[in-house]
Amino acid sequence: MNALGISVVLLWVAVIVLALLVWALSRQVGVLFERVAPMGALVTDAGPAVGAPSPSFQLASLTGAPVAIGGASAAPTLLFFLSPTCPVCKKLLPVLKSLRADEGRQLGVVLASDGEPDQQRSFIQAQRLEAFPYVLSTDLGMAYRVSKLPYAVLLDARGTVVAKGLINSREQLDSLLNAHDMQVSSIQGYLSQVPGSPTSEVTAKAA
C-alpha cells in the first residue's frame, strides 16, 4: 500500500508540473503574438503620395468595357500591377479572385500590365481572368512609378490614393485594405505610433 500511495503522489506531482509547463508555454505564445507586428505592404515614396489624387486615365480593357482610373467612382478600386512572367503575381491571382468574390461591388479590382496584347490574352485565358478588367498601359505604370512587381494601389471612391506598395503575400495585400479601413497611410505607419510595439521602439531608437 505504501508503494501504491507513493506512486499516486508522484503521478499527481507529474500532472501538476505538466500543467504548469503548459500554462507557461501558453503565456509565452501569447506574448510572442503581441510582439510580432503584422507585415504590411512595402510602401515606396515614388509615384503619387498617399492622400493625393490619382492620375486620371481612360483605358481600353482586354476583357470588356473601357476602364476609368482616377476620379469619382461607385466604389474604391484596387489597381494591381502584374506581368505574365512574374511568378509571385501568379501566386497571388487566387487571392485576388477570392477578394473579388468576397467584396462584391464594394471594391473594384483592376489588373494592369503592359507588353504584347497576344501574350496578355493568352495569360488571361490560362489564368481565367476574364472576370477582371485588364488594361495594358505603359503610361499608367510610369504615372505610379512602378519599378517592381507585383505592386498595388488602393483608390477610394473619390479617386484619392489611400494605400499602395509592393505585394508579396496575402497579408501584404490585406494590409492595404486594413490601412484604408483604419484611415492610416500604412500599417507600419500606424504601428510606429502604438506605444510598446516593435515598430515604435525601432522608430524611437532611430530618433
Q: Are residues 102 and 169 in the same domain?
A: yes
Q: Of 36-45, 87-96, 130-139, which range is least confident?
A: 36-45
Q: Are residues 93 and 165 in the same domain?
A: yes
Q: Are residues 11 and 98 in the same domain?
A: no
| Number of domains present in the structure of the chain | 2
Q: Are residues 25 and 102 in the same domain?
A: no
pLDDT digits (tens, 9 = 90+) for 90-123: 999 999 999 888 887 789 999 999 999 999 999 9
Q: pLDDT confidence of 182, banded at 50, 70, 90?
A: low
Residue with cell 525601432: 202
Q: Are residues 68 and 21 in the same domain?
A: no
Tell me which residue range forms the domain holding 26: 2-36
Cβ proximity of 147 and 86 under 8 Å: no
Q: Of 13-17, 32-36, 137-141, which range is least confident?
A: 32-36
* Three-state DSSP state, 22: helix
The residue that leads in pLDDT, 125 or 34, is 125
Domain-located, residue 124: yes
CA atoms of 22 and 3, how far apart (whole Å):
29
pTM value is 0.69
Could you tell me what percent of the chain has a pLDDT over 90?
A: 46
Distance in Å from the first CA to the final CA of the chain: 70
Averaged pLDDT for residues 2-7: 75
Q: Are residues 11 and 89 in the same domain?
A: no
Domain-located, residue 42: no
Q: Are residues 21 and 67 in the same domain?
A: no
